[in-house]
Amino acid sequence: MTENEPIQRLLDLSRNLSLSLDLEPFLQQVLSAASELTSSEVASVLEVEESGGQFRFLAVPWFHRDALKSVRVPVKGSIAGWVYQNVKPALVADVPADGRHFKGADQAAEFVTRSLAAVPIVYKGETLGVLEAVNKTGSAHYTEDDLTILETLASQAAVVLQNARLMERVQKSLNEMAQLDKMKADFIAIASHELRTPLGLILGHSTFLREVITDEHKSQLDIIVRNAMRLKEIVDNMANMDNVQRGMASLRSRSVSIKRVIEEVMDTFHDEAREKRVTLRVEIKPEDILIEGDAAKIAIALSNLVKNAIVFTDSGGHVLVAAEQIPGYVKVSVMDDGIGIPARDLPHIFERFYQVESHLTRRHGGMGLGLSVARVMVEMHGGRIWAESVEGKGSNFTFILPHESDQAAAPDGAFHKSL
């Protein structure tokens, strides 16, 4: 081996480090370099298991792989364990005579360890494992130069090991998130399905009773109906989201009058706004804006935005719904002078189940589905939705829907309520 060969080999390995995404191939390169540069028979990398009490062989030569894959080396009672616990290298010229030697690995691999050099694999102060070179050829002893080579290789292995650990944690987090999403989806599907029947019976019988009970009890019945309708809104949002997630939602596209959609939505909130003393206003320019889309789904999106605006606007406040035609799109905005949204919450408000208020301080109810449903309804049309808000001054929710200027002039009168 020439004088420059070890340096060149380490440089080549460093270059591969920046390109390496797979742990096993890179560690095999480390083992190969460790064996050749220290003139050793074999080399290995040991990693501490999560329990912390023993090592497993993370990388070994291919001819020892099957024999050592199930072998565990104790941290207390092995040379590797001493290196790991003390974070110091070890040079052992006569391994069989060293009381720290663990014989189990030799027995499993039918191998005799005569001499050994080992260094800790450390990343930013955390010891991840141990790199060993075994049996220096020609019955020679390992030297400080050998340790320097192994420490250089160990520092490179540490980076790859840490990257692998981070990737494993990321994947674990992604799997947990996927499981949580599935649980949420299952909850939405089951809850929306199971609540529809009893809720329908409550509303049906309440409507019947209102026709037959005396006036003195009608106010009590109105409370039942009002709260049942609030529950119906939640169930409808859950069902809408479930249909989208399961791929059961589709657009019934036809010519839609934006003015008609807005007017019908505003009519549904007239009593609620009057009861809260919130002024509703509409501005549409021009009034004959027509688009190709699904009127029911546009109404769902707009209803959720208007509902939010009224809920989060104090008594005496104002809600404005404005629509205008811009190049290639129709733009609909719902503006209020309500309590606004904190800047930290604004990027998350369209996420499912996101609540601006904590469960301990919230005053306004809901499940955090309304805005996510609105986003889905808009995006199904190829549109986009966003929000601007200043805490304490109000919010502006805006969505745009694709608009073709030469589309048919006559709107379809049907206003579908079903998804």
349, 357, 364, 390 from 342: Cα distances, Å: 10, 10, 16, 7
pTM for the model stands at 0.51
Choosing from 214, 245, 276, the residue where a domain stops is: 245
Q: What confidence score (pLDDT) does residue 337 get?
A: 95
- What are the strands, taking DSSP E only, across 220-263? 254-257
Tens digit of each residue's pLDDT (9 = 90 or more) over 70-103: 999 999 999 999 999 999 999 999 999 999 999 9
Q: What confidence score (pLDDT) does residue 385 get?
A: 96
Q: What angle do CA 140, 146, 147 make, to 5 degrees?
A: 130
Please, are residues 340 and 390 in contact by the beta-carbon 8 Å criterion? yes
Q: Are 28 and 125 in the same domain?
A: yes
Q: What confidence score (pLDDT) does residue 197 get?
A: 77
Provide the token pair at 202.
């409550």
Low-confidence ranges of the chain (pLDDT < 70): 1-21, 188, 230, 237-250, 353, 355-368, 404-419
Q: What confidence score (pLDDT) does residue 186 get?
A: 76
Q: Is residue 211 part of a domain?
A: yes
C-alpha to C-alpha distance for 100 and 15, rounded to whole angstroms: 36
Q: Is residue 417 part of a domain?
A: no
Q: Are 46 and 164 in the same domain?
A: yes
Q: Which domain holds residue 41?
A: 5-172
Strands 126-136 and 40-48: antiparallel
Q: Are 238 and 144 in the same domain?
A: no
Q: Are 384 and 270 in the same domain?
A: yes
Q: Are 233 and 275 in the same domain?
A: no
Q: Read off the amino acid at residue 266.
A: M
Q: What confidence score (pLDDT) does residue 54 get?
A: 93
